[in-house]
């Protein structure tokens, strides 16, 4: 029996992960956050000071795996749960930088396709509708203005100690957008057959409702 695959792509902070997680729960699908895989690879590269020219060899021997507990993804690096460790601004930037290397993308591509072959999934990332799952049943391109995305991230982080300034968050978002859109391999872009949802003027509930409607019309 073939599985149902839903691809959600878009820039950092557009709300992909929150909306995808909520929607997957409602549908009883698995939510796959591919950004976490790139973050885990970046953490490994950072922790082991691996130079760019050695990514291919180094990543061949590292085990990056996912477990889904009540539909929620945990990510493991050589058996160590790194789900929280990968959520720092430094790893965000390093994941954006290192994900431009074909050796890094090739290492994660098979894993992503295998999960989608074996499960009904909502998979989010940058190249899911264009490269990883070109035959996905539904493709959504979720976006919002950089200012709005920075504002949301700032609100999210403002309770925490060491919260970066709004300006720093906005600059990081603009830099990451540029890197993700301008790399040669699998850049962030809308698939021709994806539906664009701009959440700049929508709250979370409205965005999720819109996406549920789009999925409902196609499945
Ligand atoms: O979604 P995220 O912010 O956790 O992703 C971190 C970085 O990983 C992002 O800046 C680019 C890279 N990435 C990618 O190249 N392809 C994907 N499918 C997902 C993430």
Question: Ligand 1: distance of its center to the CA of 147 in Å?
Answer: 19
Whose C-alpha lies nearest to ligand 1, atom 1? 35
pLDDT recorded at residue 113: 97
pLDDT recorded at residue 34: 98
Mean pLDDT by 10 residues, the chain (219 residues): 94 94 94 97 98 95 91 93 95 96 96 96 98 98 98 90 92 96 97 98 96 96
- CB hemisphere CA count around 54 (13 angstroms): 10
pLDDT in tens, 42-74: 999 999 999 999 999 999 989 999 998 877 899
pLDDT recorded at residue 114: 96
pLDDT recorded at residue 47: 97
Question: Ligand 1: distance of its center to the CA of 146 in Å?
Answer: 16
Q: What residues does 73 pair with on adjacent strands? A: 68
CB of 34 within 8 A of CB of 124? yes
* Nearest CA among 13, 16, 18, 43 for reference residue 171: 13
Beta strand pairing call for 138-143 and 30-33: unpaired
- At the second CATH level, the architecture of 5-218 is 3-Layer(aba) Sandwich (3.40)
What Å distances lie between residue 78 and 60, 81, 96, CA to CA? 12, 9, 21
Ligand 1 binding pocket mutation candidate from 17, 34, 143 (most atoms within 8 A of CB): 34
* Nearest CA among 3, 8, 6, 4 for reference residue 126: 8
Question: Ligand 1: distance of its center to the CA of 218 in Å?
Answer: 26
Domain range list for the chain: 5-218
Q: Which residues line ligand 1 (CB under 6 A)?
A: 12, 34-35, 38-39, 92, 95-96, 99, 125-128, 176, 180
Whose C-alpha lies nearest to ligand 1, atom 14? 126
Question: Ligand 1: distance of its center to the CA of 15 in Å?
Answer: 13
pLDDT recorded at residue 159: 85
pLDDT recorded at residue 154: 94
Q: What is the pTM of this model?
A: 0.95
pLDDT recorded at residue 162: 84
Question: Ligand 1: distance of its center to the CA of 127 in Å?
Answer: 9
């Amino acid at each position: 029996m073939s599985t149902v695959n839903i691809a959600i792509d878009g820039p950092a902070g557009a709300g992909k992960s929150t909306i995808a997680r909520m929607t997957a729960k409602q549908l009883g699908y698995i939510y796959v956050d591919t950004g976490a895989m790139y973050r885990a690879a970046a953490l490994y590269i950072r922790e082991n000071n691996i130079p760019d020219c050695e990514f291919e060899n180094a990543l061949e021997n590292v085990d990056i795996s996912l477990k889904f507990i009540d539909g929620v993804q945990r990510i493991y690096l050589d058996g160590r749960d790194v789900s929280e460790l990968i959520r720092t601004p430094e790893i965000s930037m390093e994941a954006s930088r290192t994900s431009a290397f074909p050796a890094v993308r090739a290492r994660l591509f098979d894993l992503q396709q295998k999960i989608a072959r074996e499960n009904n999934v909502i998979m989010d990332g940058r190249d899911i509708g264009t490269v990883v799952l070109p035959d996905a049943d539904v493709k959504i391109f979720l976006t919002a203005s950089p200012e709005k995305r920075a504002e949301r991230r700032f609100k999210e982080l403002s309770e925490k100690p060491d919260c970066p300034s709004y300006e720093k968050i906005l600059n990081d978002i603009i830099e990451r957008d540029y890197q993700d859109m301008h790399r040669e391999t699998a850049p962030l872009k809308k698939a021709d057959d994806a539906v664009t949802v701009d959440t700049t003027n929508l709250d979370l509930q409205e965005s999720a409702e819109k996406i549920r409607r789009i999925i409902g019309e196609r499945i």
